[in-house]
Structure 1
């Protein structure tokens, strides 16, 4: 089985290397924006004009003559920036993303080396073309052949993401099967009764974040105090994201390690978290309550949790099956009665036919497990 993995580390560049990294980020961003502007001009002249990486890549030599400082940047970094634009247009035409937008300085600054990088794990250093040997915090062993290296900047820190590729035998998973019900009060409830309490990272720091944003509103825009406070807010957002990622990785790792067959709800998170504001002619109902629910749903990161469960289960030789969530919390596991009255409260389930009583999330997980089994039987 071919496995692709990414290993992310924080690097410690010196002053000269820091300047080069920032310069490479700027050049990559400039070429991306220049190519997007050129593409938009061509499309205005000819509506049938389609994006072509080859055509835009042929413009790079003339751009280097026009802006000589682009020569200081590695040529492959500029080419990879155009590759990113090509992927952005593909995602747009296949309706997976919005139309590509111009990049802004300080937002997701990064660039990529497709080759030429070397790694010395024993000496805790990494070689980046035209930048040199850079020290990094060696927190784990890198396995496989290096395919590309992405350098990024976030909140004053620099990171490298090393993508590797290697062959591995498909292991035989010795775990059992489990159904998982996702929720707000309980992040994930298993069909055996075990549940994981939610972290609610955003909710924890929401008050502090609101206080900082209120202070930012009273500062003079682009002043030194405004920039310091904005950096502080970005750092807090970064902390919230890291807390959430750590929780998701730990939970998904624990579940995938102990269970070979995992059945989850096929939740459409984007539709579930849509705004209920409505229009002027038809205003929405319970807007404030729906807003709080949407915030809680997005704070849980259900889709990211399912994505992590999927690839981690495959690495260990297991399978993940998505099950339709319809009536999973209204169906009695004992007699099979489907009724809205079975679940009168959010947390309690009691069948009006046979009297079966249990936590509503546990009932949902059991029904997801049963549905998943039936779904596999029809397929095979």
Structure 2
């Protein structure tokens, strides 16, 4: 058996927790303590002279603060150490040029989370088909939704195990995100066909073979404006509009600097729940679609897009104001809702797991060039949805996104490829070759 037969993979799995109101208050207190620990650590690091900054000094400061303040002691010691580790990693990312300097975490804007760095403390047990139990520090045994087989109990070993978890709260409640490490056989090369994909707004994913992937939710309303709530049903849209009007009405009675009332906070929570439901539906469609593409095609070709520049505002400056600002803002919202970058990330690790390959090609002129004659003729892309070649010797016409997908696949076949990192090395999944002696 060759050395490349087995591959060690790391991925995440998120599950919903079933908590009582008392459990929710405990986890809320731990999350606020974790955020406060980060802020206090940031104060300590920025106010201490450089000659006295060290990991040991920061560790000693955290330990002393946990002894002096009871509201910090509600956070488990391992979670506090995880905050310290994450903070130092943030500075390393800044020094390496991968991110900006770490800053304070706001109570309103920051995500409430608590880290459980050691997987052996979880003691995961499957209760029955739909539910499992996990041990959470300073909380006890908690039920969670069992939607995926996890390497727990007798199935866990050195190579197939859960290395840790993170508790995360969103508008739908508390969830647990497991960090899973498994040892799997390296897949054989996928023998499926090649396909080019053009990410668009009218057609979310246009394929070069005509098998377009559409979620059936129009990006624009009949009046031409962007539909920011396209993942909600008509009744849910009516409810959202009513809640937003109630929030605006109640917000008008609040004085400057006054805390929002309980009714206003409840209205905000209902709005967040609807927004979170729409986000989960979009994620579900992306997961199902990318899984289908990874199982069907061996090579998937996409454009190398700079989405950050594509969604920049057209407002301009006071001296040089922009034009069509409202239309550009609607287009930016539609692009952001489609989450093209997340789709590419999903395709990357899913194709690697099925033996496929993701390839990127340059994006310029893929939507302006005719896929039949290969020429750039002015006026061929007059309509946003239709491409009509103005070359007298060609005259080909068809869907504009389909034309771009055919051009993307053609660029790959003639060798115009953009160098990208190795497939499978992304935030959701990592691959590591191991020796056959560790294979099970």
Distance 2:329 2:417 in 1: 40
Counterpart secondary structure, 2:290: helix
Number of residues of Structure 1 aligned to a counterpart in Structure 2: 375
Kindly state the Cα deviation for residue 63 of structure 1 after the two structures are TM-superposed: 1.0
Q: Provide the rounded CA distance (Å) in 2 between the counterparts of 1:36 and 1:136.
A: 34
1:283 positional shift: 0.8
**CA-CA distance at 1:167 after TM superposition:** 1.4
Q: How far apart are the structure 1 equivalents of 2:202 and 2:289?
A: 16
Please state if 1:196 is matched with 2:213. Answer: yes
Shift of 1:93: 3.9
| 1:110 counterpart (109, 113, 120) | 113
* 1:182 aligned residue: 199
The Cα shift of 1:3 comes to 1.0
Deviations along 1:26-58, one digit per CA (max 9) or x if unpaired, are 22111111111222323xx55xx7975443223
SS of the residue corresponding to residue 102 of structure 1 reads: coil
Could you tell me whether the CA contact under 8 Å between 2:362 and 2:417 is conserved in 1?
no
Residue 29 of structure 1 is matched in structure 2 by 35
Aligned-residue offset at 1:182: 1.0
Q: How much does 1:376 deviate? A: 6.8
Unpaired runs of 5+ in structure 2? Answer: 1-6, 152-159, 220-226, 420-440
Matches within 5 A, 1:270-285: 270-285=308-323
2 CA distance for matches of 1:29 and 1:378?
Answer: 40
- Give the alignment partner of residue 6 of structure 1, picking from 7, 12, 36: 12
Report the TM-score when normalising by structure 2.
0.79
Q: Please say which of residues 261-270 and 329-338 is displaced more in the overlay.
A: 329-338
Other-structure match for 1:373: 413
Deviations 1:236-271 (A, max 9, x none): 221121111111111111111101100001111110
Q: Aligned equivalents of 1:53 and 1:259: distance in 2?
A: 48
Shift of residue 179 of structure 1?
Answer: 0.3
Per the TM alignment, residue 6 of structure 1 is displaced from its structure 2 partner at its CA by: 1.1
Distance of aligned partners of 1:378 and 1:223 in 2 relative to their CA distance in 1, 3 Å threshold: closer
CA distance in 2, matches of 1:97, 1:277: 27
**Structure 1 residue 69, shift from structure 2 partner:** 3.9
Q: CA RMSD in A?
A: 2.4
- CA gap 1:217/1:336 in 2 versus in 1, 3 angstroms: same
2:436 corresponds in structure 1 to: none
Unaligned runs of 5+ in 1: none
Q: Relative contact order, CA 8 A, sep 6+: which one is greater?
A: 2
Matched, 1:357 2:403: no
The 5-angstrom pairing of residues 178-327 of structure 1 reads 178-198=195-215, 199=217, 202-204=228-230, 205=232, 209=240, 211-219=242-250, 220=254, 221-327=259-365
Q: Does 1:348 align with 2:348?
A: no
**C-alpha distance after superposition, 1:299-356 (max 9, x if no partner):** 1111111111111111111110111111112222232212232322222223213222
Higher helix content, 1 or 2: 1
- Partner residue, 2:222: none
